[in-house]
Chain A
Amino acid sequence: MANPFHLVVDNVDKRFNTKQGEFIAIRDINLRVQRGEFTALIGHSGCGKSTLLNLIAGLDVATNGVLVCAGREISGPGPDRGVVFQNHSLLPWLTCFDNVYLAVERVFSATEKKPQLIARTEAALKMVGLTHATHKHPNEISGGMKQRVGIARALSIEPAVLLLDEPFGALDALTRAHLQDELMRIVADTKSTVVMVTHDVDEAVLLSDKIVMMTNGPSATIGEILDVKLARPRDRLELAEDTDYHYYRKAVVEFLYSKQKKAA
């Protein structure tokens, strides 16, 4: 029987053993993500949102509970989930092309020949608008461009879920806005299922279909889930005067700054 949900997180806990004893990072996490849905995980720093993303990525193992991606239990990292890291994580000794090709080769070399692999790599770079930087090294391009290569690498392997860990956190505001628009376009084109960690309220409302708000850690869990029913394609200029947008925005801000007020 096919599960209607593309990504399922069921009763997940994650504890770490530290010198001061057991540390409960997150507990009782239940999450359902549909195919093609854009989900944002938001919360104060230390709320375990990155821990949850790492569990979905398979970089970490849950202490309790089950995670299922596209009908298969997550037991470790795998190319069915594409990850974009906060600090781009491109290999500096490889060109943009080779960075993406490394991923493409890993996933498709068993079934496809080299010209097809090259075509896939070039298509991924074209999608993020970096055809001109194909043969540049990461240190020769800007931070925004690096992050775009990271997105191209993650999407080039046609993952079932795209995982973004504060992908634009290290960028300046203008570049960030530009990349958010790009991401919306790419996600619409590729119909990707996305889970994104963010601490930016506007980013969450602008991009998401669903905002998962997490309570403060330690022992963090999901506080509220907000369905964002804004029509797509979304335009940041039009949304600036949209009452629904402000309603969603206020809901998230209220959760973060009044219900989950963080002692500075």
Chain B
Amino acid sequence: MSASLTIDAMLTTSGDAAVPAMPAPEAPVEVIPLTAEQIAAAAEREAQTQLAVRRRRDRLAGLVQSVVPGLVGILIFLLLWQGLTHVATQIPGPVKVWDSAVKLFSDPFYRKGPNDQGIGWNILASLQRVGLGFGLAALVGIPAGFMIGRFEYLNRMTSPIISLLRPVSPLAWLPIGLMVFKAANPAAIWVIFICSIWPMIINTATGVQRIPQDYLNVARVLNLSEWKVFTKILFPAVLPYMLTGVKLSIGVAWLVIVAAEMLTGGVGIGFWLWDEWNNLVVEHIIIAIFTIGIVGLLLEQALIWIAKRFQFD
């Protein structure tokens, strides 16, 4: 073993004076088999380096394959957009919009009166409405979903009403909200509440109905208390379904808030978009569209990330 080490050292540092402990006299006898071993080891090392290189290359290729098409797509989109501006001259091109966006986002939190506030305030105002309406919907919808899933009678009782009301555009509820609350802001929150409650009720109820019988049998053979059944079996089993409902809800809520704000006014990204249309600042309309898209994407990604943490299988 020591011979192999020294030979290795000799091979790599050939002729270096710093080589410690020269091989013992009997070493040459062992040299031949050891060299063969060494060749094998070296070959393996070589193979491993090659493998590492190939793996790195594969990873790079994978990255290229996943990122490049997206970039190409964006590039083509920008080119088409630029091309379009030559045909429809009232539409500003990407460069113009970018310059405008840089200016807009350099000061997102200014306040110059109720109708002229920074884009940051507008986004936050919309998010707040969505958060409130959506939060209230979760507060009502998730327990309701549990009840409907658990009790068949309740399910049959509520299913015609839910089926009837679910396809209705949430904006149809706006007048009712305005009438009841006599203010625009709570009416917008009300609309968000209505549109995000259905997916949460339906998905939670489905989750409860689909709990594997095996899990419930465990609860039965152990005679677990209702509280234990809920915390240890029902809730964790339903959680992934619930989160799917939450994800769908937040998507719909973000779609609807823009439309609701156009109707109700005030501060908010939807209102801002409409306001910029009235001011005929087309760049800002396009910026609003992209902002809405990016915020929606971030909301959804955040929920996908949360949902992944609760996947067990």
- Looking at the assembled complex, report how far the CB atom of B185 sits from the nearest CB atom of chain A, in whole angstroms: 40
Interface size on B, residues (CB 8 A): 17
Question: At the interface, is chain B mostly helix, strand, loop or mixed?
Answer: helix
Residues of A within 8 A of B220 (CB): 59, 77
Residues of A within 8 A of B313 (CB): 92, 139
Q: Which of B214, B222, B236, B310 contacts A103 (CB 8 A)?
A: B222
Asked, given contacts A93-B236, A139-B312, whether A106 binds B221 with beta carbons under 8 Å apart, the answer is no
Measured in the bound complex, the distance between the Cα atoms of B214 and A12 in whole Å is 25
A255 contacts B by Cβ under 8 Å: no
Asked, given contacts A91-B233, A102-B228, A106-B228, whether A59 binds B222 with beta carbons under 8 Å apart, the answer is no
A94 contacts B by Cβ under 8 Å: yes
Q: Which of A81, A82, A83, A91 contacts B215 (CB 8 A)?
A: A91
B218 contacts A by Cβ under 8 Å: yes
- Looking at the assembled complex, report how far the CB atom of B224 sits from the nearest CB atom of chain A, in whole angstroms: 6
B278 contacts A by Cβ under 8 Å: no
Contact yes or no, A78 B228, CB < 8 A:
no
Task: Please encode chain A, from 102 to 115, with 1 for each CB lying within 8 Å of some chain B CB and 0 for all others.
Answer: 11001100000000
Residues of B within 8 A of A106 (CB): 222-224, 228
A74 contacts B by Cβ under 8 Å: no
- Looking at the assembled complex, report how far the CB atom of A103 sits from the nearest CB atom of chain B, in whole angstroms: 5
- Looking at the assembled complex, report how far the CB atom of A245 sits from the nearest CB atom of chain B, in whole angstroms: 33
Measured in the bound complex, the distance between the Cα atoms of B70 and A77 in whole Å is 57
Residues of B within 8 A of A58 (CB): 221
Contact yes or no, A91 B221, CB < 8 A:
no
Task: Please encode chain A, from 73 to 107, with 1 for each CB lying within 8 Å of some chain B CB and 0 for all others.
Answer: 00011110111010101011110000000110011
B232 contacts A by Cβ under 8 Å: yes
Q: Which of B217, B224, B233, B237 contacts A59 (CB 8 A)?
A: B217
Measured in the bound complex, the distance between the Cα atoms of B220 and A77 in whole Å is 6
Contact yes or no, A81 B221, CB < 8 A:
yes
B233 closest partner in A (C-beta): A91
Measured in the bound complex, the distance between the Cα atoms of B237 and A139 in whole Å is 15
A67 contacts B by Cβ under 8 Å: no
Contact yes or no, B221 A77, CB < 8 A:
yes
- Looking at the assembled complex, report how far the CB atom of B239 sits from the nearest CB atom of chain A, in whole angstroms: 8
A137 contacts B by Cβ under 8 Å: yes
- Give the most central of B217, B224, B233: most A CB within 10 Å: B217
Residues of A within 8 A of B236 (CB): 91, 93
- Looking at the assembled complex, report how far the CB atom of B217 sits from the nearest CB atom of chain A, in whole angstroms: 6
Question: In chain B, residues 231-279, which have Cβ atoms closer than 8 Å to a Cβ of chain A?
Answer: 232-233, 236-237
- Give the most central of A58, A79, A93, A157: most B CB within 10 Å: A93
Q: Which of B217, B228, B312 contacts A92 (CB 8 A)?
A: B312
Residue positions of A touching B, CB distance < 8 A: 57-59, 76-79, 81-83, 85, 87, 89, 91-94, 102-103, 106-107, 137, 139, 157
Residue positions of B touching A, CB distance < 8 A: 214-215, 217-218, 220-224, 228, 232-233, 236-237, 310, 312-313
29 contacts between A and B (CB under 8 A): A58-B221, A59-B217, A59-B221, A76-B223, A77-B220, A77-B222, A78-B221, A78-B223, A79-B221, A79-B222, A79-B223, A82-B221, A83-B217, A83-B221, A85-B218, A87-B214, A89-B218, A91-B218, A91-B236, A93-B310, A93-B312, A102-B222, A102-B228, A102-B232, A103-B222, A106-B224, A107-B222, A139-B312, A139-B313
